[in-house]
Chain A
């Protein structure tokens, strides 16, 4: 099989984080007086909400500590930290250095924040695999984390949520999952963006579905199939970017996958769209449960637009690694429900004037 990686690369540790707070979609609908037919089609029951003292950096730290615990790697051996987010706490100042410092990877490490809407972390994964596979380093840490913003009353408010995921990428030997192949497909597409210094994103009318999400994911996955000779029936699982509960099932069907392959990695209906963590937290949940030998298709997507398709195979060490940190479902089942008023208070949707 075609393998673009010289020496190969694998996932040594994976870790997730989902905040404890949840708001039900029905509560958001109640606040805005939306009838059922206007939001039920999104396939969302509830979404995770970050606490007021959380941001994409703090969530990224917890996911990273989980990934490093699973990898069992001394953090000083990590030589790159890539942070993918579209909700950076600072416009200028890397979150990657804060995460690297918190986990103990500093100072002999590369560190940078990447930007590509929801697929920045996936670009980090491709970079990490290239650096490891070329022999430039032994281990790299990749973090995807977002506290996604949505304009109050916009349909995005039902899905835009908070969560993080992290992976320790290293050599094939000792990896819990091997990345067999990857294929990336990007074009300049105006489906979704946020202008500098604007708090909320905008979406291109008629652009979010077909020309963006579906075209890029289908092109990346077909590119991977063509390069490797793999086909949908060669995979036990398939996980796609999850802007809502419906798109991943639809793109799966169009590519020839069955709903049973998609459902184990589908988290958006119960935690919302975690943006940079969206597809990758689905991968983390699959690694929490998959049998050695399982093959997983992973296809993140980012607006602007692009998608990566990965073929990942689970190894024998996955079972002991998964015991070393909380599973995705441990976070999913820990929850405190909040009402719309508390949600507004938490996410700064009201300006609080203090200290006059």
Chain B
């Protein structure tokens, strides 16, 4: 019971991070990630939660050689823009050698560690993307 009190605000967003849920606007029909109370395109508040496709295409990416604190073991970190058809998401691209990435390549969602709140805090999990097997076979 006792023990250090640590910030765990990420708990509120776990379901959409874990299951790749996005928002969809009933007014303009567009989907977005993460889900928001208001549509980012038309500001309507008539939004619902939807399961986003787990397969998509890599639109573009950038490679970070100077990584955030706590992520040194993962250096270099690849961040990509992924088109899921109904929505675009910004995500880390994992299990890829930087030289093999191409814009337009198929990627798929995976469940990974996003970050840790230091050595004592919670481990925050969520979706990232990796090259889909059809790229390698």
Contacts and interface: CB of A to CB of B under 8 A. Distances in A.
B18 interface: yes
Interface in A309-338: 326, 330, 333-334, 336
B73 A334 contact: no
A166 to B, nearest CB: 13
Interface in B85-124: 92, 94-95, 97, 110-114, 123
A57 B125 contact: yes
B18 A334 contact: no
Give the contact-size bracket for chain B: 20 to 34
B66 interface: no
Contacts of B14: 101
A21 B136 CA distance: 14
B113 A354 contact: no
Interface string B46-79: 0000000000000000000000011011100000
A98 B130 CA distance: 21
Contact of B19 (A19, A55, A89, A104): A104
Contacts of B18: 98, 101-102
Contacts of A330: 133
A319 B97 CA distance: 35
A220 B35 CA distance: 52
B133 to A, nearest CB: 6
A20 B114 CA distance: 18
Given A89-B123, A101-B18, A58 B70 contact: no
A194 interface: no
B70 to A, nearest CB: 6
A55 B113 CA distance: 8
Interface of A: 19-21, 51-55, 57-58, 61-62, 65, 89-90, 98, 101-102, 104, 326, 330, 333-334, 336, 345-346, 348, 352, 354-355
Interface of B: 14-15, 18-19, 69-70, 72-74, 92, 94-95, 97, 110-114, 123, 125, 128, 130, 133, 136-137
Closest 9 CB pairs of A and B: A61-B111, A52-B73, A102-B18, A355-B69, A53-B112, A53-B113, A20-B95, A52-B74, A352-B72
24 contacts: A19-B95, A51-B94, A51-B95, A52-B73, A53-B74, A53-B112, A54-B112, A54-B113, A55-B113, A58-B110, A58-B112, A62-B110, A90-B123, A98-B18, A101-B14, A101-B18, A102-B18, A104-B19, A334-B133, A346-B73, A352-B73, A354-B70, A354-B72, A355-B69
